[in-house]
Amino acid sequence: MRVYHNQLEVRTSGKGTYEVTEEIQEKLDKANVRNGTVTIFVQHTSCSLTLMENAAPAARRDVERFFEKLVPEDADYEHNDEGPDDMPSHIRMVLTRTSETVPIVDGKMQLGTWQGIFLFEHRRDPHRRRVHLTIIGE
Amino acid sequence: MRVYHNQLEVRTSGKGTYEVTEEIQEKLDKANVRNGTVTIFVQHTSCSLTLMENAAPAARRDVERFFEKLVPEDADYEHNDEGPDDMPSHIRMVLTRTSETVPIVDGKMQLGTWQGIFLFEHRRDPHRRRVHLTIIGE
Amino acid sequence: MRVYHNQLEVRTSGKGTYEVTEEIQEKLDKANVRNGTVTIFVQHTSCSLTLMENAAPAARRDVERFFEKLVPEDADYEHNDEGPDDMPSHIRMVLTRTSETVPIVDGKMQLGTWQGIFLFEHRRDPHRRRVHLTIIGE
């Protein structure tokens, strides 16, 4: 058993979902851990992590539109000095996830057929986002 | 320290919450890990995982009704070719969870008094759902 | 590699977010694990766990107000015999998180600059809340 740390940088070009499944699998291939888990941890408070449907782009757009309506930019927020997309980004992040732990068997993440891993960017401006990977296994 | 993989199959008969706490504890008993964690990972994008109140069935029905209202079937979704319950299932899954990691002490999951582990089925039709368990410990 | 269990007790004085980042880091310092993960697990169904912005108190108040509106106390709940704040607490808990796993490098949690770890209390009355920590590493 050992612990292996790694990092991804995700360059976002505004609000939306960015798939990182393949980049994570490539890091696992290099780490050469056959059995264990990978914990994916997003180090930010204005973007988040989600696993979801990765085949239909329309489904991703529906998810993004749902969050635009549920947590609107034009609500009356007390914390409003960093732009209209700032406070909604913090709330959307609380409603989604920061970390997920995915099983690894025979070196491969055990995702379902339609599961992809996404960074969910909630800010309008481009950002460089850091995703920490911790692989525990043998 | 070792890694132990296992799987549950959950047969659902339509929308609702299905408790899997006991089935998971039985798998732990067989694995005979005394101290560590179990990571519960749902391998689907139209059902999800949640820990919640397991004593009052009325509380579970209230949770289910809340999600029916928050993510309605009759909204105007772009991705609508797999039935009215399909796109809401993906959104409800993003709003809940895919993985949870539960501590194991003396062979038992350290759940609170009222905590149960549930598969949250978001589709109307019956499904066979796969839940992967990764036990790490000693 | 080893497993180390620990517990926090958080005394809440009513609804709100209570930061526990420093208390958790202190427990890690004592455990003296240099590399690995800490899994934070809340053992309750009427409070939850969230990572979020820890610098601006106004942002936390906006998050709290958002949940008051999204899951109102005065909705028509079937499970209503434990007070108007009970059923909303279970739903808010389903919408947020029970466990998060945070990487540890050189003995320190790898949180982003603005990330704090919070217990999110959903009940009006004071409570003593138990948070279980499982540290896995070397």
Check if C103 contacts A (Cβ < 8 Å).
yes
- DSSP one-letter string for C5-44: EEEEEEEE-SSEEEE-HHHHHHHHHHHT--EEEEEEEE--
Say how many C-beta atoms besides its own lie within 10 A of residue B22's C-beta. 10
List, in order, residues 6 or more apart from A68 with CB less than 8 Å away.
none
Whether B130 sits inside 8 A of A112 (CB atoms) is yes
Ranges in chain A, pLDDT < 50: none
Question: Contacts of residue C73 in chain B, CB cutoff 8 Å?
Answer: none
- Residue in chain B closest to A17 (alpha carbons) equals B94
Q: Would you write out chain C's pLDDT as a tens digit for each of its 138 residues?
A: 999 999 999 999 999 999 999 999 999 999 999 999 999 999 999 999 999 999 999 999 999 999 999 999 999 999 998 999 999 999 999 999 999 999 999 999 999 999 999 999 999 999 999 999 999 999
Question: What local confidence, expressed as pLDDT, does residue B124 receive?
Answer: 98
B68: closest CA of chain A, how far (Å): 14
Question: What local confidence, expressed as pLDDT, does residue A51 receive?
Answer: 97
Q: Using CA atoms, how far apart are residues A24 and A29, in angstroms rounded to an integer?
A: 9
β-partners of residue B8 are B131
Cβ-contact A112, B50 below 8 angstroms: no
pLDDT tens, residue by residue, B26-62 = 999 999 999 999 999 999 999 999 999 999 999 999 9
Mutate to test the interface with A, among C62, C104, C120 (most CBs of A within 10 A): C62
- The token duo for C28 is 């890690």
Query: How sure is the predictor about B11, in pLDDT bands with cuts at 50, 70 and 90?
Result: very high
Question: What local confidence, expressed as pLDDT, does residue A26 receive?
Answer: 97
Which of C51, C53, C62 has the alpha carbon at shortest distance from C118? C51
What's the predicted TM-score (pTM) here? 0.98
How many whole angstroms from its chain centre is CA C128?
Answer: 13
ipTM over 0.90: yes
pLDDT tens, residue by residue, B76-121 = 999 998 999 999 999 999 999 999 999 999 999 999 999 999 999 9
Burial class (CB in 10 A: 0-12, 13-18, 19+), B5: middle
Q: Neighbours of C (≥3 Cβ pairs closer than 8 A)?
A: A, B
Question: Contacts of residue C62 in chain A, CB cutoff 8 Å?
Answer: 77-79, 87, 90-91
Task: Beginning with the edge strand found earlier in the chain, give each strand of the sheet holding B99-105 in spatial order.
Answer: B2-12, B127-137, B35-42, B99-105, B108-109
- Residue in chain B closest to C133 (alpha carbons) equals B103
Query: What are residue C67's phi and psi, to 5 degrees?
Result: -70, -30
A56: closest CA of chain C, how far (Å): 24
